[in-house]
């Protein structure tokens, strides 16, 4: 090995040692960060605990809290409108499978309405509906789509499934957002209630996809 090689090797060793030092420093910094994060999480827990106490004493003030209550009134209106629409549509489905799925979701929707009434209770508010233009528009469209298909046809079921999925996706977006706000505000019990409903909406959406993909779409194609 000549001198130059020796130097190169030394430099390589030096930089490897430097890298090692940097890695050690980074890992120590990360550990510090994560313990700082834990500290922040604890702080947040304490803060959210305070919020829940505040809520239980019915002292509602912040803009976000007001926004949240408004949004609950909005989805409370929407669920009632959806329940009526499902009751109307179930007898219009052609396949028994879709009829049953809609009947089941009508029952689930009734439970979701009661669950929202529990949310109002936790908020210390009387259940109140706030007109939701979005759901009125979607349900109007569902109605028109169903009317545009023939009674007893599988294309009718295709229309009902697509319409129902538009409704489900609206609900999934709403409950998903509200759940995150409830968590942020430290409303743990409300978050649990909203999560149960969100899971039900997602399950319904998947079931409708299955019914469409397994046979309804293919049978409609043969008409
Ligand atoms: Fe719902
Ligand atoms: Fe739903």
| Boundary of a domain, candidates 59, 77, 92 | 59
Nearest bound ligand to the CA of residue 116? 1
Q: Which residues surround ligand 2, an ion (CB under 5 A)?
A: 171, 201
Top pLDDT among 171 and 54 is at 171
Whether 137 and 52 map to the same domain: the answer is no
| Boundary of a domain, candidates 59, 75, 99 | 59
Question: Rounded CA gap, 157 and 95, in Å?
Answer: 7
Whether 18 and 70 map to the same domain: the answer is no
Whether 133 and 173 map to the same domain: the answer is yes
Average pLDDT over the chain, rounded to whole? Answer: 82
pTM score over 0.75:
no
Distance 117 CA to ligand 2 centre (A): 16
Distance 101 CA to ligand 2 centre (A): 11
Question: 37 lies in which domain range?
Answer: 1-59
* Mean predicted confidence (pLDDT) in 152-162: 97
Where does the pLDDT of residue 60 fall: very low under 50, low under 70, confident under 90, or very high at 90 and above? low
Distance 124 CA to ligand 2 centre (A): 25
Distance 62 CA to ligand 2 centre (A): 30
Where does the pLDDT of residue 56 fall: very low under 50, low under 70, confident under 90, or very high at 90 and above? very low
Top pLDDT among 52 and 75 is at 75
The pLDDT of residue 209: 97
- pLDDT exceeds cutoff 80 at 57: no
Distance 69 CA to ligand 2 centre (A): 20
Nearest bound ligand to the CA of residue 76? 1
Where does the pLDDT of residue 42 fall: very low under 50, low under 70, confident under 90, or very high at 90 and above? very low
Whether 194 and 124 map to the same domain: the answer is yes
Whether 11 and 45 map to the same domain: the answer is yes
Distance 222 CA to ligand 2 centre (A): 30
pLDDT in tens, 179-212: 999 999 999 999 999 999 999 999 999 999 999 9
Whether 35 and 118 map to the same domain: the answer is no
Whether 22 and 89 map to the same domain: the answer is no
The pLDDT of residue 183: 97
Whether 40 and 69 map to the same domain: the answer is no
Whether 5 and 76 map to the same domain: the answer is no
- pLDDT exceeds cutoff 50 at 86: yes
Whether 90 and 195 map to the same domain: the answer is yes
- pLDDT exceeds cutoff 60 at 135: yes
* Mean predicted confidence (pLDDT) in 214-223: 91
Nearest bound ligand to the CA of residue 105? 2
The pLDDT of residue 196: 98
The number of domains in the chain is 2
Distance 44 CA to ligand 2 centre (A): 33
Distance 66 CA to ligand 2 centre (A): 25
Nearest bound ligand to the CA of residue 168? 2
* Mean predicted confidence (pLDDT) in 16-34: 44
Distance 56 CA to ligand 2 centre (A): 29
Cα separation values, 221 from 54, 94, 151, 212, 213, Å: 58, 15, 16, 12, 12
Q: What is the CATH number of the domain that holds 158?
A: 1.20.1260.10
Top pLDDT among 9 and 101 is at 101
- The answer to whether 151 and 93 are in contact (CB under 8 A) is no
Mean pLDDT lowest among 3-17, 64-78, 119-133: 3-17
Distance 171 CA to ligand 1 centre (A): 6
Whether 175 and 107 map to the same domain: the answer is yes
Whether 129 and 207 map to the same domain: the answer is yes
| Boundary of a domain, candidates 16, 38, 59 | 59
Q: Which residues surround ligand 1, an ion (CB under 5 A)?
A: 109, 112, 171
């Amino acid at each position: 090995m000549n001198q130059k090689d020796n130097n190169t090797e030394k430099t390589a060793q030096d930089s490897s040692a430097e890298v090692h030092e940097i890695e050690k420093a980074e890992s120590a910094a990360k550990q510090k960060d994560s313990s700082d994060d834990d500290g922040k999480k604890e702080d947040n827990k304490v803060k959210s605990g305070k919020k829940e106490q505040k809520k239980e004493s019915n002292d509602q003030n912040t803009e976000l809290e007001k926004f949240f209550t408004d949004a609950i009134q909005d989805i409370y209106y929407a669920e009632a409108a959806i329940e009526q629409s499902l009751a109307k549509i179930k007898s219009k489905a052609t396949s028994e499978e879709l009829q049953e799925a809609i009947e089941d979701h009508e029952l689930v929707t009734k439970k979701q309405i009661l669950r929202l009434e529990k949310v109002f209770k936790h908020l210390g508010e009387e259940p109140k509906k706030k007109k939701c233009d979005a759901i009125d528009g979607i349900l109007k469209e569902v109605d028109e789509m169903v009317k545009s298909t023939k009674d007893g046809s599988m294309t009718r079921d295709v229309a009902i499934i697509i319409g129902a999925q538009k409704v489900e996706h609206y609900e999934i977006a709403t409950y998903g957002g509200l759940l995150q706000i409830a968590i942020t505000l430290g409303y743990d019990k409300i978050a649990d209630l909203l999560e149960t409903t969100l899971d039900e909406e997602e399950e319904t959406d998947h079931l409708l996809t299955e019914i469409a993909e397994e046979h309804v779409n293919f049978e409609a194609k043969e008409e």
